[in-house]
Structure 1
Amino acid sequence: MSTADEVEVPRVLRLLWGLEKPSRRGPKPGLSLDAIADAAVRLADAEGLAAVSMSRVAGELGFSTMSLYRYVDSKDDLLLVMANAGYGRPELHHGPRAAWRTRLEEWARAMRAGLQAHPWLLEIPVSEPPLAPNPLAWMEAGLQALSATPLREQEKLSAMLLTDTFVRGQTQLALQVDAAARRSGSTPQEADARYARVLGQLVTPDTHPGLVGALSSGSLEDGGDDFADTEFAFGLKVVMDGIAGLVEARARRAGT
């Protein structure tokens, strides 16, 4: 890439990648980008993303708000730094000899576990593809899971993105439903039963035959403590089956 085509890497990314050291201005012993990230993560875990601000993080660390500007230039930078810490590095156990499906399923389940541990990650707006070290490590791990398949490079990216989108969407929905049930003082089973009773008064076989069929079968009030896990397993299987169909089609074409 020519010099004219180069794009300046934002300072916060240069710091995260170790390409630049913090400004030397001001006496700031004990303050570091890692410390800022850890404090922000603790706040978000305890009180939610809305509790995180430059002033709150600085206060947690015993520094002035201005001290943080040696490392982060804005609230957006702070969110990027704490998200990088929240995701962490992927810890996957299946190596390159494992089947692609085994590796990608493990990747998806590990991603889900991380989001469940730090639900606020789902609240951070996504304005561009990953650039911080840890999210990029997850992206690389997802692509490596598909590296031995005959998929084209764009198809590998799309398959990984499809899996990531499913994980995020299902995890966010499950967390929101669980939070709503807790706020109402109901168990998930009680919330499902109430939903079914109310829905039964609103739909008829003429207007919503599909919903009436689901109600009659008891499916809409059959949620238990493992409902989210069951739905995740079902959805992940369907996603993997779809990718497997594409992999098999590519393999057949390569063999002809």
Structure 2
Amino acid sequence: MPRPLVDLLWRDSPLAPAGGSRGPRARHSTGDVVTRAITLADEGGLSAVTVRALAQSLEMTAMSVYTHVNSRDDLLVLMTDHAHALMTATPFGRSTWRTRVRRVADDNLALLCAHPWLLDVDDPRTALGPGTIAKYDHELRAFDGTSISDLHRDAALTLVLDFIRSSAARIVTKPVTGDFGELWTQSVERLACYLGDEFAIAQRVGRAAGESMGGPYQADRAWEFGLARVIAGLADLDGLGAAPGGG
């Protein structure tokens, strides 16, 4: 009978129900299966994580893999929660809430750069896991020392994490065309010939931005600008604007 996903997520908890003792001891634990699956995903993306590939990598049968995880979807949840559990959480210390939010953002960006496949996992069941709950608890504490309401604390963190996720998708994706900056330099004058006097604002602003960034988009600059705007926007919330770090 399949084990409930919650039990699989909390399998290492001292409160977890004891497993059966019949039969020979398994060569690999559920933790081994999850760790190897993460390695496969890091190397080849989520498409590389199949039960067959995982079984071959661990020298197991596919049926043996299913004794540890109920399905590939459940496996992805377990992988995500384990990645969250191992995530670096920079201590907050006595810093302001603005500095703490920036640390949350930087830590999450580092996590997504290390494990880009996390961007392809969108399963709300990850919220049930110990690693994800510990991550959530730590990140909510970025607003300690303020009088922000609990609902706004959750919403503010969600806003920050949503910004990180969307920005990380651009940062971790490598251009398939090579050095786009060189392509931009070579193409921008020819492009202007086709545009003529049309789209005057797009041409003026695009030219200024392109000359500054060496292309139509610079992920690092967009990250810094966007994060600063998110933090500035949060300061409008009741309980944050007048708090230390509220500006």
TM (normalized to structure 1)? 0.80
Change (3 A) 1:49 1:153: same
Question: Greater shift after overlay, 194-203 or 148-157?
Answer: 194-203
Query: Greater relative contact order: 1 or 2 (C-alpha under 8 angstroms, separation 6 or more)?
Result: 2
Which one of the candidate residues 187, 211, 214 is aligned to 2:179? 187
Number of equivalent positions: 238
Instruction: Tell me if 1:216 matches 2:207.
Output: yes
Q: Deviations over 1:34-66 (max 9, x none)?
A: 211111011111111101011211211111111
Unaligned segments of structure 2, at least 5 residues: none
Partner of residue 12, structure 1: 8
Partner Cα separation in structure 2 for residue 163 and residue 120 of structure 1: 20
Partner AA of 2:59 in structure 1:
G
Matches within 5 A, 1:1-256: 10-15=6-11, 17=13, 19-22=16-19, 24=21, 26-128=23-125, 130-176=127-173, 178=174, 181=175, 183-184=176-177, 186-193=178-185, 196=188, 200=192, 206=198, 208-219=199-210, 222-223=213-214, 227-247=218-238, 251=242
Q: CA deviation at 1:174?
A: 2.4
Partner Cα separation in structure 1 for residue 93 and residue 53 of structure 2: 43
Change (3 A) 1:83 1:129: closer
Partner of residue 3, structure 1: none
Contact map agreement 1:84 1:135 (CA 8 A) in 2: yes
Secondary structure of 1:91's counterpart equals coil
Partner Cα separation in structure 1 for residue 188 and residue 147 of structure 2: 46
Contact map agreement 1:72 1:78 (CA 8 A) in 2: yes
Q: Deviations over 1:55-94 (max 9, x none)?
A: 2112111111111222211111110111122233343343
Partner Cα separation in structure 1 for residue 149 and residue 183 of structure 2: 45
Contact map agreement 1:45 1:120 (CA 8 A) in 2: yes
Contact map agreement 1:90 1:137 (CA 8 A) in 2: no
Partner Cα separation in structure 1 for residue 158 and residue 187 of structure 2: 32
Change (3 A) 1:249 1:110: closer
Once superposed, what is the RMSD of the aligned Cα atoms?
2.9
Q: CA deviation at 1:148?
A: 1.7
Q: Deviations over 1:159-215 (max 9, x none)?
A: 100000000000102223x2xx2x32x214135446756864665655x34322222
Of all paired residues, the percent bearing the same amino acid is: 26
Following superposition, which runs of at least 4 residues in structure 1 exceed 6 angstroms of deviation? none
Contact map agreement 2:105 2:160 (CA 8 A) in 1: yes
Question: Greater shift after overlay, 162-171 or 97-106?
Answer: 97-106
Q: CA deviation at 1:217?
A: 1.8
Partner Cα separation in structure 1 for residue 133 and residue 6 of structure 2: 16
